[in-house]
């Protein structure tokens, strides 16, 4: 049991303004695994005031980037020292298989922290150059108080993807995790405080949508960094637009994997599968549409069904588990509803479609493959966020590219075939922010990641991810003056 009775606000664990709590229920056992106070509007106001004070008057934005980087390095080290514990905590919150979680939910955040710590010494915050009319200093300064809002599916990863660059930039942060995953957020606050983060720089306000809206609209917030659904992203983008507040949005996806006509299924499917049913299918970058050449359609679907049949479904904490339960009962309802919709639309379930046999508790859905799917069907257009794949036939390469692009989303995608040059030529035609050519690596933390179209605005990771938290100031200098930078 991991229970908190206080909120981390302004660098201290303080009495919450109300007695309302979030109970965290294990998706595997349906039992209580922890609790934490639910932040209210008054707690958010307090957190924003602390962040404002720390930004306007505190040491953090005025410290050298290398000093801020040292805090990130220490935090990475602390996470590395508790990999198993944190991975199990997250699995208990949202059902991620612990073996996958060790890498993606825990190791990856340490890599992100280390990467941004490294930028502390290599990134040029100040650049002096000869402008057209005289010398110029371009200074990159922290954007201010940041509201960081995340979903539950890769909670620590997404928090660190925002906090690492925001903190390196010198921003102060009010972080609102999702109600399902407040415990690892509190753990991150403990880790960062122990790593030496000054008071006021970070507050954590576990809360739902309404309190989140209050945070987004708060006049003390300069920038909103949001990851979540495209529905919420549109609303947040509109609210920020009305106030001319800086905003970046990482949203949903419905990514397509194109299997070219010469694809070798034996080597390709094992490469593709971890990104197709990733994190129980609860991943924005999942390759949920599998595009197969029409004349090899049966061969592809048969091979895919065998891959899915071999997946081990079970307790998220069992190291052998490959597919765990969905985050909550309502998420299982949602996924089961889509499975019904797919059948009503005329698609056929080739494997799965129900609940796994022999498991009598937990919010499990069988990994499911739909065949005879047309890309216009709702199961091919809408984000299901569960272990459900749709196999869609195509006629030729141009048709595959057309189908892949026929989506309101544009987050990720992949192409597999014998010829890398041909794969790269396909990659260049796909309207998504990230892509894989004969690869199984969807995100490189040193390179930009984000969405085209309804999948988002802005790019996290790499130097782009840091720039999201910087304002640029051009200072015109007198001729002959070269400042020390």
Report in angstroms how near the CB of residue 372 gets to ligand NAD at its nearest: 26
Terminal alpha carbon distance of the chain = 50
Nearer to ligand NAD, 297 or 452 (CB): 452
Nearer to ligand NAD, 179 or 342 (CB): 179
Report in angstroms how near the CB of residue 464 gets to ligand NAD at its nearest: 13
In the numeric block, which tokens belong to residue 410?
A: 């544009």
Active site residue 412: no
Nearer to ligand NAD, 55 or 385 (CB): 385
Using CA atoms in the order 423, 425, 426, 428, what is the torsion angle rounded to 10 degrees?
Answer: 120
Report in angstroms how near the CB of residue 465 gets to ligand NAD at its nearest: 11
Residue-wise burial string across 109-128, b where 16 or more C-beta atoms lie within 10 A, e elsewhere: bbebbbbbbebbeebebeeb
Nearer to ligand NAD, 171 or 216 (CB): 216
Rounded to whole angstroms, the Cα distance separating 192 from 41 reads 24
Instruction: Name the residue among 61, 22, 23, 26 with its Cα closest to residue 40.
Output: 22
Contacts of 456 (CB under 8 A, 6+ apart): 233, 248, 249, 250, 251, 411, 433, 450
Report in angstroms how near the CB of residue 196 gets to ligand NAD at its nearest: 27
Determine how β-strand 223-227 pairs with β-strand 246-250: parallel
Residue-wise burial string across 390-411, b where 16 or more C-beta atoms lie within 10 A, e elsewhere: bbbbbeebeebbebbbebebbb
Query: For the chain, what is the total number of helices (H) and then of strands (E)?
Result: 16, 23
In the numeric block, which tokens belong to residue 459?
A: 């790019």
Nearer to ligand NAD, 259 or 283 (CB): 283
Report in angstroms how near the CB of residue 100 gets to ligand NAD at its nearest: 15
Residues found in the chain: 485
By beta carbon distance, the residue nearest ligand NAD is: 212
Count the neighbouring beta carbons within 10 Å of the beta carbon of residue 131: 13
Contacts of 420 (CB under 8 A, 6+ apart): 437, 438
Active site residue 284: yes
Residues that bind ligand NAD (CB under 6 A): 149-154, 158, 176, 178, 208-209, 212-213, 216, 227-229, 232, 235-236, 250-253, 284, 383, 385, 411, 451, 456
Nearer to ligand NAD, 236 or 373 (CB): 236
Nearer to ligand NAD, 34 or 417 (CB): 34
Yes or no: say if 330 and 285 are a contact pair by the CB < 8 Å rule.
no
Instruction: Name the residue among 11, 256, 241, 245 with its Cα closest to residue 147.
Output: 245
Report in angstroms how near the CB of residue 10 gets to ligand NAD at its nearest: 21
- Annotated catalytic residue within 38, 284, 366, 467: 284
Nearer to ligand NAD, 236 or 365 (CB): 236
Rounded to whole angstroms, the Cα distance separating 145 from 450 reads 22
Report in angstroms how near the CB of residue 411 gets to ligand NAD at its nearest: 6
Rounded to whole angstroms, the Cα distance separating 290 from 375 reads 10
Count the neighbouring beta carbons within 10 Å of the beta carbon of residue 353: 19
Give how far Cα 32 sits from Cα of 24, 26, 92, 105, 142, Å. Answer: 6, 6, 9, 21, 40
- Annotated catalytic residue within 93, 250, 282, 366: 250
Report in angstroms how near the CB of residue 161 gets to ligand NAD at its nearest: 8
Q: What helix, strand, coil percent values describe the chain, rounded to 5? A: 40, 20, 40
Q: Looking at the annotation, which residues are catalytic?
A: 250, 284
């Amino acid at each position: 049991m991991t229970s908190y009775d206080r909120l981390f606000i302004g660098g201290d664990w303080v009495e919450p303004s109300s007695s309302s709590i979030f109970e965290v229920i294990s998706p595997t056992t349906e039992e209580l695994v922890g609790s934490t106070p639910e932040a209210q509007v008054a707690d958010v106001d307090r957190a924003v005031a602390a962040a404002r004070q720390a930004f306007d008057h505190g040491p953090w934005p005025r410290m050298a980037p290398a000093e801020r980087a040292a805090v990130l390095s220490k935090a990475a080290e602390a996470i590395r020292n508790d990999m198993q514990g944190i991975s199990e905590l997250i699995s208990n919150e949202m059902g991620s298989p612990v073996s996958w979680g060790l890498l993606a939910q825990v190791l990856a955040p340490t890599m992100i922290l280390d990467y941004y710590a490294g930028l502390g010494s290599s990134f040029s915050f100040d650049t002096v150059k000869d402008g057209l009319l005289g010398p110029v200093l371009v200074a990159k300064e922290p954007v201010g108080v940041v509201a960081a809002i995340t979903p539950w599916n890769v909670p620590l990863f997404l928090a660190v993807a925002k906090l690492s660059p925001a903190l390196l930039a010198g921003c102060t942060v009010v972080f609102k995790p999702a109600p399902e995953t407040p415990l690892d957020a509190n753990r991150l606050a403990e880790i960062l405080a122990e790593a030496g983060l000054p008071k006021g720089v970070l507050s954590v306000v576990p809360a739902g949508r309404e309190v989140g809206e209050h945070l987004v609209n708060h006049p003390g917030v300069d920038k909103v960094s949001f990851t979540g659904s495209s529905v919420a992203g549109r609303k947040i983008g509109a609210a920020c637009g009305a106030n001319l507040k800086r905003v970046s949005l990482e949203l949903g996806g419905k990514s397509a994997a194109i299997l070219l006509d010469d694809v070798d299924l034996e080597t390709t499917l094992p490469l593709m599968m971890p990104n197709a049913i990733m994190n129980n299918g609860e991943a924005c970058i999942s390759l949920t549409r599998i595009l197969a050449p029409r004349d090899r359609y049966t061969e592809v679907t048969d091979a895919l069904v065998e891959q899915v049949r071999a997946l081990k479904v079970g307790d998220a904490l069992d190291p052998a588990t490959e597919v765990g339960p969905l985050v909550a009962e309502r998420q299982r309802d949602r996924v089961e509803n889509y499975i019904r919709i797919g059948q009503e639309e005329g698609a056929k379930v080739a494997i799965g479609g129900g609940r796994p046999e022999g498991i009598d508790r937990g919010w499990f859905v069988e990994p499911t493959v739909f065949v005879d799917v047309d890309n216009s069907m709702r199961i091919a257009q809408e984000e299901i966020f569960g272990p459900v794949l749709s196999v869609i036939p195509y006629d030729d390469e141009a048709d595959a590219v057309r189908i892949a692009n026929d989506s309101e989303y544009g987050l990720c995608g992949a192409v597999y075939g014998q010829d890398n040059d041909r794969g790269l030529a396909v990659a260049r035609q796909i309207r998504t922010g990230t892509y894989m050519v004969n690869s199984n690596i969807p995100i490189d933390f040193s390179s930009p990641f984000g969405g085209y179209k309804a999948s988002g605005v802005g790019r996290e990771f790499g130097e782009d991810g840091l720039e999201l938290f910087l304002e640029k100031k051009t200072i015109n200098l007198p001729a002959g003056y070269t400042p020390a930078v």
